[in-house]
Amino acid sequence: MCNCMSLHNEMANYSAEKQIALISVTNPPVNALSHHVRQGIMNGLKRAKEDPNVQAVVLCGSGRTFPAGADITEFASHLATKKPHLVEICTELDSFPKPVVAAIHGTALGGGLELCLSAHYRIASKSAKVGFPEVNIGILPGATGTQRLPRVTHLKSAIDLIVSGRQVNASEAYDLGIVDQIVDSDVVSKASEFAKSIVMRPLGPRRVSSMPVKGIEHASTIFEEARQKTIRRSRGAIAPLTCIQAIQASVEQPTFEKGVQKESELMYYLMQSGQARAQQYAFFAERSVSKWQRPNGVSYKTTKPVRVKTAAVIGAGTMGVGIAVSLISCGVKVFLTEQNQEYLNRGMEILKNIIFSGVKRNRISKSQAEKLVSLVTPVLDYGSFSHVDIVIEAVFENMDIKKKVFRKLDAVCKPSAILASNTSTLNIDEIASVTSQPDKVVGMHFFSPAHIMKLLENIYGKATSSETIATAMDLGQRMKKISVLVGNCHGFVGNRMMGPYTAEAGFLLEEGCFPQDVDQALRDFGFAMGAFQTSDLAGADIGYKIRKELGLVGPRWADERLRMGQRYSPLGDMIVEAGRLGQKTGKGWYNYGKPGGRANMRDVEVEEIIVNFSKKHDIKRRRISPQEIIERCLYSLINEGFKALEEGIAAKDEDIDIIWIYGYGWPRHMGGPMYYAKNMVGLPKVYERICHYHSIYKNSKHWIPSTLLKQMALSQSASKL
């Protein structure tokens, strides 16, 4: 008998046919579990329970995915707490008198996976993925997930999945016991067939709430190890450790229900935290940056990119090789060129090593690696460039050399070819000025190592066309980068803001700190590394060489700058001149024991250089608090961020925040510099401290308060009155 009915006014469609009720969530694009969806599922379950013809239920998502989690946009509104709650749905599913089968396709994440684990059976399509990414948005799987997962898989695996937030594919999910069956196609029909076959089976053993937690023999050691590892990695983020606490409740609480109660308390604690709000902001900020818009109103909506198929990369050094790897990884054919055969061979060797390291790590097969390498053609002249769609230049950071390269490219490339520069600071308009088609010139600023770092800062010049921008942004996304569009100025957005940060780090040394003091304060804030560790890792000689060529190094230059009313610390130059280039020479701001060493130890030799410098320049050394270190390094860069906004170099806060999170290691749980200033510290306070430092350090331009910051701080103060 067919009691085919469906209700379409909710975001969960209900239909019933041949004893099987189908509840299909319909809330594109990711079927997030917003209030109407939750209500729809609950209504569907009620109907299925009451309908005597229905013997089993299949729960699925329509369109591209099973629900990918709670609706994050609701978190800040009353809808998040409006009944029915997800926990109630999970409880209803678990205790449902008729079998419930979850038919999983796409990504069953967060609350979506909690629904699956509350169902009695889980069938996944081959391409499905599951996971608990809540930790990435500062919370935990708070709808029974922390209590259910360790009951279907081993405790250790549950901790790993929940604390890392990683997604696993269907086959790993099957191995871990999270899904019961994998099917090749049409998961909903297969789940319906399966549901018919199990209508008479007892449900008791299938209810996850009644299962024991698995792998608890060495629970206390497992938790302790997880805690230690998490403390080392989480850099002050509170969600990862709280996730462990919630999972611990599954072992320590006397009943499943008590465990769920503890989980809810911990979820509430996280939900109320500033960190969760910051991470949720970062989630949406990350998605907003691809929606670029220029000040003239032209945007991603109105501009179609050109599909890049072939490219040329000029310079096979540190950046060129990484850029070439990124390009071939998304199927673009690359011509790689260098100054001479020796450098070209060296670049190709490094490129092959990078690709084949993926084989060693079982990420790709040998034949895939060979295929990728075959996409690169090493060449010594520009003859083959006449047909490429884009050229990305990554030669030395020197305007004359870059201009020479662009002149040559202009002569050989087809008129529609885009000419991009990976310059980290230089003026894109000046580079474009030597070409006949400045509309085709764009900056594509990759970060090192270019094949690993996710950030791509794309820079438009005065003449850059919208199509050129759209193509650079699109190519970035194809390379799996987060592309942010910014305007043209010295250092663009990221490196421009980095200027005050590194300058203040240097001044702090002159006034009383040692590198380890500054770095410790920055690490305590949440950066993976401090300013001096980063400099040692990157090698200080490259920047030094560039500055030296321009005559901008050393104490004489520092005096000159002071005369010009701009303070400069020559300590960094002095460290390089002492042969301390960083990790590669075994010594930099720290001592690494041997060239290439990783463990940084404080070095009295460096401390002597610093103390002698202070003495020589009559700078009275003093004890500087971590708070002052943070304010001077970070508020100065925040001030610069406001200036970039005010000048239209950055279009919105989100662009700056994502650049800093992905390019410079700003801790995600601190939202990004602009978010941090506005929401975690408050603009009136930031502005007051900037004015304070400006009154002391008049000879540092970066302390001149941004006009925009001033206006916003004043209006934030006024709105609080």
Partner from ligand 3HC, ligand NAI, none binding residue 71, C-beta < 5-8 Å depending on class: ligand 3HC
Give the C-alpha separation, 324 to 224, whole Å.
43
Q: Which of 110, 570, 663, 671 binds ligand 3HC (CB under 6 A)?
A: 110
Is the CB of residue 474 less than 8 Å from the CB of residue 305?
A: yes
User: Residues of 5-23 as b/e, b for ≥16 C-beta within 10 angstroms?
Assistant: eeeeebbbbbbbbebbbbb
Partner from ligand 3HC, ligand NAI, none binding residue 673, C-beta < 5-8 Å depending on class: none
Give the C-alpha separation, 478 to 708, whole Å.
35
Is the CB of residue 98 less than 8 Å from the CB of residue 57?
A: yes
If the CB atoms of residues 98 and 445 are measured against ligand NAI, the closer one turns out to be: 445
**Residues that contact ligand 3HC, how many (by CB under 6 A):** 24
Partner from ligand 3HC, ligand NAI, none binding residue 395, C-beta < 5-8 Å depending on class: ligand NAI
Q: Which of 287, 304, 307, 462 binds ligand 3HC (CB under 6 A)?
A: 287
Partner from ligand 3HC, ligand NAI, none binding residue 318, C-beta < 5-8 Å depending on class: ligand NAI
CB of 657 to ligand NAI, least distance (A): 20
Sign of CA dihedral 151, 152, 157, 162: negative
Give the C-alpha separation, 543 to 499, whole Å.
12
Distance of CA 600 to the CA centre of its chain: 26
Q: Is 494 in the site for ligand 3HC (CB under 6 A)?
A: no
Residue whose entry in the numeric block shows the structure tokens 């950055």:
650
Give the C-alpha separation, 41 to 97, whole Å.
16
Helix, strand or coil, per DSSP, at residue 106: coil
If the CB atoms of residues 145 and 438 are measured against ligand 3HC, the closer one turns out to be: 145
List interacting residues with ligand NAI (CB under 6 A): 314-320, 337-339, 343, 394-397, 401, 405, 422-424, 445-448
Q: Return phi, psi of residue 485, to 5°.
A: -95, 130
Give the C-alpha separation, 627 to 335, whole Å.
50
Say which amino acid occupies 561: R
Choosing from 114, 338, 397, 628, which is the catalytic residue? 114
Partner from ligand 3HC, ligand NAI, none binding residue 343, C-beta < 5-8 Å depending on class: ligand NAI
**Segment 417 to 446, residues that bind ligand 3HC, using CB under 6 A:** none
Q: Is 246 in the site for ligand 3HC (CB under 6 A)?
A: no
Tokens of 304: 């179609």
Partner from ligand 3HC, ligand NAI, none binding residue 134, C-beta < 5-8 Å depending on class: ligand 3HC
If the CB atoms of residues 146 and 591 are measured against ligand 3HC, the closer one turns out to be: 146
CB of 275 to ligand NAI, least distance (A): 30
Q: Say how many CA atoms lie within 13 Å of 677 toward its Cβ.
A: 28
Q: With CB under 6 A as the contact rule, which of the stretches 104-112, 546-554, 650-658, 699-707 interacts with ligand 3HC?
A: 104-112
Q: Which of 86, 531, 649, 674 binds ligand 3HC (CB under 6 A)?
A: 86
Q: With CB under 6 A as the contact rule, which of the stretches 3-11, 66-74, 236-244, 615-623 interacts with ligand 3HC?
A: 66-74
Q: Say how many CA atoms lie within 13 Å of 175 toward its Cβ.
A: 5
Query: Which of 694, 646, 376 is CA-nearest to residue 496?
Result: 646
Tokens of 665: 């290691």
Range list of β-strands (E), 441-576: 441-446, 455-460, 482-486
CB of 581 to ligand 3HC, least distance (A): 41
Is the CB of residue 187 less than 8 Å from the CB of residue 124?
A: yes
Is 134 one of the annotated active-site residues of the chain?
A: yes
CB of 372 to ligand NAI, least distance (A): 20
Partner from ligand 3HC, ligand NAI, none binding residue 338, C-beta < 5-8 Å depending on class: ligand NAI
Partner from ligand NAI, ligand 3HC, none binding residue 316, C-beta < 5-8 Å depending on class: ligand NAI
Helix, strand or coil, per DSSP, at residue 56: strand
Q: With CB under 6 A as the contact rule, which of the stretches 103-111, 293-301, 530-538, 621-629 interacts with ligand 3HC?
A: 103-111
Q: Which of 40, 145, 322, 705 binds ligand 3HC (CB under 6 A)?
A: 145
Query: Which of 119, 178, 121, 181 is CA-nearest to residue 153?
Result: 178
Range list of β-strands (E), 185-285: none
> Which helix (H) or strand (E) is 117 found in, with range?
helix 111-118
Query: Which of 465, 411, 169 is CA-nearest to residue 296?
Result: 465
CB of 336 to ligand 3HC, least distance (A): 30
Partner from ligand 3HC, ligand NAI, none binding residue 389, C-beta < 5-8 Å depending on class: none
Tokens of 370: 């060979």
Q: Is 476 in the site for ligand 3HC (CB under 6 A)?
A: no
Is 88 one of the annotated active-site residues of the chain?
A: no
Choosing from 134, 338, 397, 631, which is the catalytic residue? 134
Q: Is 72 in the site for ligand 3HC (CB under 6 A)?
A: yes
Interface positions with ligand 3HC (CB under 6 A) = 29-30, 32, 68-73, 86, 107, 109-111, 114, 133-134, 137, 141-143, 145, 284, 287
Q: Please give the positions annotated as active site.
A: 114, 134
